[in-house]
Structure 1
Amino acid sequence: MNLLTKLKYSGWVYPTAILSLYGFFANCRPAEPFLTPYLIGPYKNISEDALTNYLFPIWTYSYLAVLFPVFLLTDFLRYKPLIVLQGLFLVTNYILLCFAPGLLAMTVLQFNYAVVTSTDVAYFSYIYSVIPEARYQRATGYIRSAMLAGSTVGATLAQLLVSLAGVEYFYINTITLGIQSMSFFLSFWLPMPKQGMFFRGRTPDMGSKDQQGWAVEEASGAVSGAGPENTPEEGGCCSWYDMAYAGRMLWRSFRESYSSKRLVYWSLWWALATAGYGQVFNYIQLMWDHIEPSSTSSIYNGGVEAICTLVGSAAAFSVGYIKVPWDVWGELALGMFSAVGAGAVFLMAFTSSIWACYAGYVIFKASYMLLITITTFQIASNLSMECYALTFGINTFAALTLQTIMTAIVIDKTALGLDIVTQFLVYGSYYTAISVLFLVRGAYTAGEHYCRPEPGEPNQESKQDTELQDISEHQL
């Protein structure tokens, strides 16, 4: 038992292994690729219009409402409670899907799932609070691989059960419920971090991490009101001192994150593209059902999602082996691959072939996963971990705000309430605008780089000034 405790609190292998297992089971959801056919089928009997224009938008609005509070609570509660909460809500999700009838229950389900997605920030940030910095890259690789493996296994299992065994969607949901129960159980085995990134309490190394003079104030007793009755306890997280420290750290991290113009452009693409990706991802099953109704045809949603995950992960993995000066060509790459994504969305909108639509979705998702990997790497490699966590949260919040605006205007039945084909035409146009923006910006960045003189080499104006000076001296 002592060895287990030692592994929990001093090693990096144990938390990485448990978090990887959790990520595998939490993302192994065989029912997810067949959610739309299940909801509009005989088990739930929800109309396609209600699903498109009423039910799915609730998730977007709820996600926006809970994301920022959850982001702050994640650090305040030190990650693990939010991961446990995510596991609990995943279980609740599939209990509702399996056993709760009616539109009201599915409305609650959408809010429930918004809590699940908003707590992703706890999952992605947890590992950096319990392992040494030297192990970040390896641990991140293991966790990402486990998540992708879980998604692939879940989608493949679902397709095999539907196509080969003829298993009904209800039983696929019950299988998913069992898998999610395993992820919930695993969440309790995660070690509790001793402190958060921002809400640190009074720790011995706190002064060294804050370069604004807090350590000096603390040592000299110059902090106003620092008496015995309100001195924070070791590891405490509720004192005014800790709240002020967290506020200062958040503000410093924000300034560091967005002080570079290049990082601002990468973050801008992240927010814009993720908003469009979220809309396509959320409504693609409705497009598939529009082209090839699940009630009358064999569908291959699970197989397509498995292929998307494999192709996307391969594209993301290849980023580490592509030797490109991203600071020069990165923005141009964002524009070019965004154009590929726009073409794929237009293909999905105009085609009447389900296979062409499947192919368009694979291309779209793979291009997005490639670019978001490059973007994440570029942002993370130039920031401290505290800044990366904050930047991730802000960029996600900005993306979700844009996605909410699109949902409210394009999809919500109280506004335009467009049909699914017209929606995808809007998303294709949206991605076209992103592509044009970054192609122009990328061309400018690349041109500026190659027109800039090499270090030590005078520019053209300097050369002319030197020549004029030499002529003048010669004449004198």
Structure 2
Amino acid sequence: MGFFWWWKCRDGPRTGNPRGPHGAGWAGPTTLLCVYGFCSMMRPIEPFLTEFLSGPDKNFTTGQLTRQVYPVVTYSNILLLVPVLLVTDWLRYKPVIVLQALCNLLSFLLLLLGPRGDTAWARGALFVSSLGSVADVAYISYIYSLVPPQRYQRVTGYVRGALLLGYAAGATLGQLLVSVFAVALRRLFAVSVASMAAALAVALFLPMPKRSLHEREMRGGSGADAVADAEEDPGCSVGPCRQAWARSRRAVRCAGRASQRLAADCVACYSSVAVAFFCVWFAAGRCGFYQVASYVQLLWLDQQPQHNFTAYNGAVDALATLSGSAASLAVGHISLDWALWGEVFLGGFTALISGALFLMNLTDNIWVSYVCYALFKALYMQLITVCTFQIAKSLRLERYALVFGLNRFLGTVLQTVLTGVVINTRSLRLTLSSQFLIYAAFFGVLALLFVVRGVYVVFHTKHSSQENQAERDNQLPEVTPRPF
């Protein structure tokens, strides 16, 4: 750890345009990142993963998947997120994106090659997958380090749209291979692995941003400061000893300054009430989405008829993802006073999400459940895009990964609590439909919070503007008529 701090401290000032790698524009890195996101998410096996694990290839029971295998993702996320968050900005995003691509590839290979019925092997594969998942904070933050703030809204739509298009392409391909060509599910794994290998290749070509969090702190002191540090120790008379002592003192100062800056940034980022509310939705909405997405295939497995039925999970996922992608791209071009109407927008559409999940709990018809999930996912993708660019517009360059990482950490903590209560509490033993009732209530509370907050902001802003107009009218000077 000391060597890490010294290595960062020894770097001298860097030159170049912080908004573009090696003076390049924003279009090239954005295109590469979109291609990477598309390839990394094109996984034909994803909509059929539960069916594969519960089928003859792996032979896991529904109870094992619900209570032993899938919860590993949530619990390992909370362990891995903080370390990844702390190194993402210091490593300047690209190495973490490469790590994400490697982990995604390795986790799928482990699931494919693992022994039949071995829950420990499956949990290990999902642990590796979690490391790739938490590294997504680098993917979110990377592009904001290369583009000017006025392009945040549009670029966010492009990047998230590429992710969703990749997932939709994978789901569509998987559905076609299963339903039309009767391809075995193991073959879908091979296609998924090939796509993620392509994503790894693209990640290696991403340009390295020139600025990172706490770069000024990491530069350390000047040469005169180093000499002064060495001279403070009278026993340090040999040249190498003087240099080692100076480096250690500078490393300690760098660590102290970085810690103070980190704490100050946290206070500054969340001191704005508007930003804090967007962060609340980002964390809570992400928690609810991944909780639903993790267990919806188990719900469909319980709802669908056992005979003479072809699962259309891939088609539904593709339709939902395409709708979400279109919504994300559309949001990038909507002209709306988000500071005024943002909370109302979030609250109203979150209420629709809650209603869709509530209907999924009530119905036993898988087709109704399919439609509700498609609506749920499309709305979530739209709203998370709104939150992302609204948060990014309000932050300085070096705070992106910090804030997105903290939001994700808070969402993971909330998801861990939700998983522990709903999934792993032995006394409850809730059915799958009852679990989705809790998720519907979760989004319902979130919708109520944002509707109340949004209505307050609208009325308060309108009232303040009317008062200011009245004051300006009262302060107008009286005009006396001139005599003819």
Residue 14 (structure 1) shift:
4.9
C-alpha distance 137-422 of structure 1, shift in aligned 2 (>3 A): closer
Question: What is the match of residue 11 of structure 1?
Answer: 24
Question: What is the match of residue 51 of structure 1?
Answer: 65
Task: Give the Cα–Cα distance (whole angstroms) in 2 for the partners of residues 199 and 415 of structure 1.
Answer: 51
Question: What is the match of residue 115 of structure 1?
Answer: 131
Residue 127 (structure 1) shift:
3.3
Aligned partner (choices 389, 406, 413) of residue 418 of structure 2: 406
Residue 293 (structure 1) shift:
5.2
Aligned partner (choices 247, 254, 262) of residue 259 of structure 2: 247
Task: Give the Cα–Cα distance (whole angstroms) in 1 for the partners of residues 400 and 227 of structure 2.
Answer: 30
Per mean C-alpha deviation after superposition, the further-off stretch among 18-27 and 398-407 is: 18-27
Residue 251 (structure 1) shift:
2.8
Question: What is the match of residue 22 of structure 1?
Answer: 36
Task: Give the Cα–Cα distance (whole angstroms) in 2 for the partners of residues 355 and 401 of structure 1.
Answer: 33
C-alpha distance 293-50 of structure 1, shift in aligned 2 (>3 A): farther
| Contact kept in structure 1, 2:359 and 2:369, CA below 8 Å | yes
C-alpha distance 186-452 of structure 1, shift in aligned 2 (>3 A): closer
Residue 357 (structure 1) shift:
0.6
Asked if 1:301 corresponds to 2:317, the answer is: no
Task: Give the Cα–Cα distance (whole angstroms) in 1 for the partners of residues 227 and 405 of structure 2.
Answer: 31
Asked if 1:261 corresponds to 2:273, the answer is: yes
Which amino acid in 2 is paired with 1:108?
A: G
Residue 53 (structure 1) shift:
1.7
Percent identity reads 39
C-alpha distance 137-425 of structure 1, shift in aligned 2 (>3 A): closer
Aligned partner (choices 290, 304, 325) of residue 313 of structure 1: 325
What secondary structure, in the 3-state scheme, does the structure 2 residue paired with 1:254 have?
helix
Asked if 1:278 corresponds to 2:282, the answer is: no
Asked if 1:356 corresponds to 2:365, the answer is: no
Question: What is the match of residue 194 of structure 2?
Answer: 178
Residue 158 (structure 1) shift:
0.5
C-alpha distance 38-190 of structure 1, shift in aligned 2 (>3 A): same
Per mean C-alpha deviation after superposition, the further-off stretch among 169-178 and 7-16 is: 7-16
Task: Give the Cα–Cα distance (whole angstroms) in 2 for the partners of residues 381 and 129 of structure 1.
Answer: 12
Question: What is the match of residue 390 of structure 1?
Answer: 402
Task: Give the Cα–Cα distance (whole angstroms) in 1 for the partners of residues 260 and 342 of structure 2.
Answer: 32
Task: Give the Cα–Cα distance (whole angstroms) in 2 for the partners of residues 309 and 379 of structure 1.
Answer: 23
Aligned partner (choices 36, 39, 49) of residue 53 of structure 2: 39
Question: What is the match of residue 180 of structure 2?
Answer: 164
Question: What is the match of residue 74 of structure 2?
Answer: 60
| Contact kept in structure 2, 1:28 and 1:151, CA below 8 Å | yes
Q: Superposition RMSD on alpha carbons, in Å?
A: 3.0
Which amino acid in 2 is paired with 1:120?
A: D
Could you report, residue by residue, the CA deviation over 1:446-469 in whole angstroms, capped at 9, with x for unpaired residues?
A: 22222224364347xx99xx9xxx
Asked if 1:422 corresponds to 2:438, the answer is: no
Question: What is the match of residue 15 of structure 2?
Answer: none
Which amino acid in 2 is paired with 1:147?
A: L
C-alpha distance 159-448 of structure 1, shift in aligned 2 (>3 A): same
TM-score if structure 1 supplies the norm length? 0.84
Task: Give the Cα–Cα distance (whole angstroms) in 2 for the partners of residues 239 and 74 of structure 1.
Answer: 19
| Contact kept in structure 2, 1:76 and 1:196, CA below 8 Å | yes
Could you report, residue by residue, the CA deviation over 1:281-327 in whole angstroms, capped at 9, with x for unpaired residues?
A: 11111111111157762011111111111111222222234333222
Question: What is the match of residue 103 of structure 1?
Answer: 119
Asked if 1:447 corresponds to 2:459, the answer is: yes
What secondary structure, in the 3-state scheme, does the structure 1 residue paired with 2:80 have?
helix
What secondary structure, in the 3-state scheme, does the structure 2 residue paired with 1:392 have?
helix
| Contact kept in structure 2, 1:347 and 1:357, CA below 8 Å | yes
What secondary structure, in the 3-state scheme, does the structure 2 residue paired with 1:323 have?
coil
Unaligned runs of 5+ in 2: 1-19, 232-241, 476-484
- Aligned pairs (5 A) from 1:133-148: 140=156, 142-148=158-164
Per mean C-alpha deviation after superposition, the further-off stretch among 357-366 and 13-22 is: 13-22
Residue 354 (structure 1) shift:
1.2
Asked if 1:75 corresponds to 2:75, the answer is: no
Asked if 1:431 corresponds to 2:440, the answer is: no
TM-score if structure 2 supplies the norm length? 0.83
| Contact kept in structure 1, 2:88 and 2:401, CA below 8 Å | no
Which amino acid in 2 is paired with 1:96?
A: L
Could you report, residue by residue, the CA deviation over 1:268-292 in whole angstroms, capped at 9, with x for unpaired residues?
A: 2222222111211111111111111
Asked if 1:126 corresponds to 2:138, the answer is: no
| Contact kept in structure 2, 1:55 and 1:106, CA below 8 Å | yes
Residue 202 (structure 1) shift:
5.5
Question: What is the match of residue 373 of structure 1?
Answer: 385
Task: Give the Cα–Cα distance (whole angstroms) in 2 for the partners of residues 134 and 418 of structure 1.
Answer: 47
Could you report, residue by residue, the CA deviation over 1:156-195 in whole angstroms, capped at 9, with x for unpaired residues?
A: 1111101110111111112211222222233333344455
Which amino acid in 1 is paired with 2:47?
A: P
C-alpha distance 391-226 of structure 1, shift in aligned 2 (>3 A): farther
| Contact kept in structure 2, 1:58 and 1:111, CA below 8 Å | yes
| Contact kept in structure 1, 2:299 and 2:433, CA below 8 Å | yes
Residue 378 (structure 1) shift:
1.9
| Contact kept in structure 1, 2:145 and 2:397, CA below 8 Å | no
C-alpha distance 294-32 of structure 1, shift in aligned 2 (>3 A): farther
Which amino acid in 2 is paired with 1:320?
A: G
Task: Give the Cα–Cα distance (whole angstroms) in 2 for the partners of residues 63 and 412 of structure 1.
Answer: 17
Task: Give the Cα–Cα distance (whole angstroms) in 2 for the partners of residues 49 and 156 of structure 1.
Answer: 28
C-alpha distance 329-126 of structure 1, shift in aligned 2 (>3 A): closer
| Contact kept in structure 2, 1:308 and 1:362, CA below 8 Å | yes
Q: Which has the higher contact order (CA 8 A, sep 6+)?
A: 2
Which amino acid in 2 is paired with 1:329?
A: W
Task: Give the Cα–Cα distance (whole angstroms) in 2 for the partners of residues 81 and 349 of structure 1.
Answer: 42
Residue 25 (structure 1) shift:
1.2
Which amino acid in 2 is paired with 1:443?
A: V
Task: Give the Cα–Cα distance (whole angstroms) in 1 for the partners of residues 252 and 39 of structure 2.
Answer: 39
C-alpha distance 193-315 of structure 1, shift in aligned 2 (>3 A): closer
Which amino acid in 2 is paired with 1:378?
A: Q
Residue 222 (structure 1) shift:
10
Aligned partner (choices 215, 225, 229) of residue 229 of structure 2: 225
C-alpha distance 294-177 of structure 1, shift in aligned 2 (>3 A): farther
Residue 78 (structure 1) shift:
2.8
Per mean C-alpha deviation after superposition, the further-off stretch among 430-439 and 444-453 is: 444-453
Could you report, residue by residue, the CA deviation over 1:105-161 in whole angstroms, capped at 9, with x for unpaired residues?
A: 111112111101011112222334456778766655543343222212111111110
Which amino acid in 2 is paired with 1:451?
A: H
